[in-house]
Amino acid sequence: GQNIDQPTEMTATEGAIVQINCTYQTSGFNGLFWYQQHAGEAPTFLSYNVLDGLEEKGRFSSFLSRSKGYSYLLLKELQMKDSASYLCAVRDSNNAGNMLTFGGGTRLMVKP
Amino acid sequence: EAQVTQNPRYLITVTGKKLTVTCSQNMNHEYMSWYRQDPGLGLRQIYYSMNVEVTDKGDVPEGYKVSRKEKRNFPLILESPSPNQTSLYFCASSPLGTGDYGYTFGSGTRLTVV
């Protein structure tokens, strides 16, 4: 199985940059996903990493280091609407099908 | 529009009264799954299905049933709901295999059992 750890809560200021970390342990790593989830709503896909390095998508970037079992999601120019939970999820080739295992999520609060 | 449709969005029911939460996807995905989400516990998988007539237990299957008679539908059945099944439920679907696609989630069903 996988252990996926991410901080429970973070607070940041509007306009700033925040980095949300995720560490994982898996025997057959086959991709890491970040999802955004506003309270009471469905998670929505943000990013995907399978090779080491940085993937940039507008204000959001995601980094992966497979040797360290580590990823981070970087949010720039924070806006109030970025207040949400951010879920790290790992796909393991030893899992049946395409199963993702989710971390507990990081609740980000953006303050004015 | 490609989507996963769950119904109902909100449901209040009484202990022991059987209920079904429906889930349907229009993307021809092989893989479908049910999760429940509780404060402090994150998303926990209940059941999943890799194709028609192929279902298997996730991490928290007790008290739930599923069926997959058609590729597009994956209903979640609570035969005798109890208050500890009060939760936010999500259905998700995905193609099988690897690639840069994750899950597509339904809008969620907030269930309260009194």
Question: Per-residue pLDDT averaged across A55-63, rounded?
Answer: 95
Min Cα–Cα distance to chain A from B106, Å: 6
Contact B106 A91 (CB under 8 A): no
Contact list in B for residue A89 (CB cut-off 8 A) is 102
Using an 8 Å Cβ cutoff, are A22 and A4 in contact?
A: yes
**pLDDT single digits (tens) B17-50:** 999 999 999 999 999 999 999 988 889 999 999 9
Per-residue pLDDT, B81: 97
Q: What is the mean pLDDT of residues B100-112?
A: 91
pLDDT, residue B102, reads 82
The pLDDT value given to residue B98: 67
pLDDT value of position B95: 87
- When the pLDDT of each residue in chain A is averaged and rounded to a whole number, the result is 93
Inter-chain touch B90–A45, beta carbons under 8 Å: no
Phi, psi (5° rounding) for residue B41?
A: -115, -10
Q: Do B98 and A96 touch (CB under 8 A)?
A: no
Percent of chain A with pLDDT over 90: 81
DSSP collapsed to 3 states, chain A? CCEEECCCEEEEECCCCEEEEEEEECCCEEEEEEEEECCCCCCEEEEEECCCEEEEECCEEEEEECCCCEEEEEECCCCHHHCEEEEEEEEECCCCCCCEEECCCEEEEEEC
B50 in Cβ contact with B96 (< 8 Å):
yes
Give percent of chain A above pLDDT 70: 96
What's the gap in Å between the CA of A36 and the closest CA on chain B?
12
Query: What value does the mean pLDDT take over residues A2-28?
Result: 94
Chain B interface disruption, residue of A24, A48, A90, A98, most B CBs within 10 A: A98
pLDDT at A97: 63
Q: Do A43 and B105 touch (CB under 8 A)?
A: yes
**Using 50, 70 and 90 to split pLDDT, how confident is the model at A92?**
confident
Span A57-84, average pLDDT: 97
Confidence of residue B2 (pLDDT cuts 50, 70, 90): confident
- Please determine, for residue A10, whether its predicted confidence score (pLDDT) is greater than 60: yes
CA angle B76, B77, B78 (to 5 degrees): 125
Which residue is listed with tokens 């597009």? B72
Taking CA–CA distances from B110, the nearest residue in chain A reads A40
**Tokens describing residue B63:** 């008290």
Nearest to A31 among B30, B90, B98 (CB): B98
State the nearest Cα–Cα gap between B71 and chain A, in angstroms. 15
Average pLDDT over residues A42-65: 95
8 Å CB contact between A59 and A77: yes
Which of B45, B49, B103 best probes binding to A when mutated, by most A CB atoms within 10 angstroms? B103
Amino acid in the structure at residue A21:
N
Q: b/e per residue, B89-101, with b = 16+ CB within 10 A?
A: bbbbbbeeeeeeb
Of A35, A45, A98, the CB nearest to B31: A98
- At B46-98, the pLDDT tens digits run 999 999 999 999 989 999 999 999 999 999 999 999 999 999 999 999 988 76
CA distance A3 to B16: 35
Question: Using CA atoms, how far apart are residues B57 and B60, in angstroms rounded to an integer?
Answer: 8
In whole angstroms, what is the distance from residue B66 CA to residue B34 CA?
Answer: 9
pLDDT at A1: 47
